[in-house]
Amino acid sequence: MGAEALNLALVAAAGSSMLVGAGIVATRHVVAEVPPLTLALLRYAIGVVCLLPFGVASWRAARMTATLRDLAAMAALGIGQFAVLIAFMNWGLQHIGAAQGALIFSLFPLLTLMLGAALGREEMTARLLAGVLVSIAGVALSLAPKIAASGGSAHAGGWWGELAIFAAALVGAICSVLYRPYLRRYPTMPVSTYAMAASVVFLVVAAAGEQWPSRIAAIAAPAWAAIVFIGVASAVGYYLWLYALKHESPTRVTVFLALNPVTAAVLGAVLLGERLHPALLVALALIAAGLWLSARGSPGKRQPRTG
């Protein structure tokens, strides 16, 4: 793999992660008004509408056909990546603070590295592991003031909120590792569109218990503006995410999720007038060091190209 392709993959990973951080800021405005599954349904329905023209054109241009087995696997990964992960995340954020949730979710790259190594799909080098751990330390430092201000994670209802966020991170790690073979067989845009569409079909049924048609009718205009932004950001961010996974190891891609809380903090300060804590500067340095270590490490095991 050339240096140019590697750089584009890491730029895509960074862009995707920053879009997720922006989406978190927007989600804060609607998560109390819109139930978790309904919000996920709207988010990815809008994303599919954005991706569909490009996905169909790309698939036709490539003149490729997929096996029924691959289609089923990609649909399952899409449902996991979007419906299951986001449902866990939205549900967890209803029970614990956003800072605590973001800190737990920052375990995503470590779980990805451990799973990839266990399956023999990635080499756990010392430098890569150090990069992941340093970036997690940066995330922890960036969130420390908010966690301290909220009194830690003291809340009613036990540990269900924390477990839900951890489950979201675990689902994301599993999907990130298992996506790779299909991204090497098929173009990125059609895979993105198909996987997201599969999740929307699943969510139409799963969100029925939340009475989503009546919920949608009652959403106010300001909330709709935030939902549309989240949907468009999800479409662009997910394409960039899969592009990065296609060209780089899952751990190097997921470690860029450390940019999420930093992006959310900066946007919160600019758009919402929230105060930036001085610890954020040190956190930025740690995250930058972690990303540098991860990007500079020796390449993990690559899967042979199939199909």
What is the C-alpha to C-alpha distance for residues 231 and 72, in angstroms, rounded to an integer?
A: 24
**CB-CB contact of 36 with 90 (8 Å):** yes
Is the pLDDT assigned to residue 252 strictly greater than 70? yes
Is the pLDDT assigned to residue 305 strictly greater than 60? no
pLDDT of residue 45: 95
Nearby residues of 125 by Cβ (< 8 Å), 6 or more positions away: 297, 298, 300
Tell me the pLDDT tens digit for each residue of 215-230.
898 888 888 998 999 9
- Residue 138, domain extent: 3-296
Question: Does residue 121 belong to any structural domain of this protein?
Answer: yes
Total domains, the chain: 1
For residue 253, give the nearest of 300, 219, 191, 184 by alpha carbon: 300
Question: Does residue 303 belong to any structural domain of this protein?
Answer: no
Question: Does residue 302 belong to any structural domain of this protein?
Answer: no
Tell me the pLDDT tens digit for each residue of 43-64.
999 999 999 999 889 888 877 7
Is the pLDDT assigned to residue 306 strictly greater than 50? no
What is the C-alpha to C-alpha distance for residues 79 and 81, in angstroms, rounded to an integer?
A: 6
Tell me the pLDDT tens digit for each residue of 182-227.
988 889 999 999 999 999 999 999 899 889 999 898 888 888 998 9
pLDDT of residue 273: 66
Tell me the pLDDT tens digit for each residue of 6-44.
578 888 988 998 887 787 777 777 877 888 788 889 999
Question: Does residue 305 belong to any structural domain of this protein?
Answer: no
Question: Does residue 307 belong to any structural domain of this protein?
Answer: no
Question: Does residue 304 belong to any structural domain of this protein?
Answer: no
Mean pLDDT across the chain, nearest whole number?
Answer: 80
Tell me the pLDDT tens digit for each residue of 156-178.
555 777 788 889 989 999 998 99
pLDDT of residue 193: 93
Question: Does residue 208 belong to any structural domain of this protein?
Answer: yes
Token pair in block for residue 169: 């991170």
What is the C-alpha to C-alpha distance for residues 55 and 269, in angstroms, rounded to an integer?
A: 36
**CB-CB contact of 102 with 264 (8 Å):** yes
What is the C-alpha to C-alpha distance for residues 199 and 90, in angstroms, rounded to an integer?
A: 16
Using CB atoms within 10 Å of the CB of residue 118, give its burial: 0 to 12 exposed, 13 to 18 middle, 19+ buried: exposed
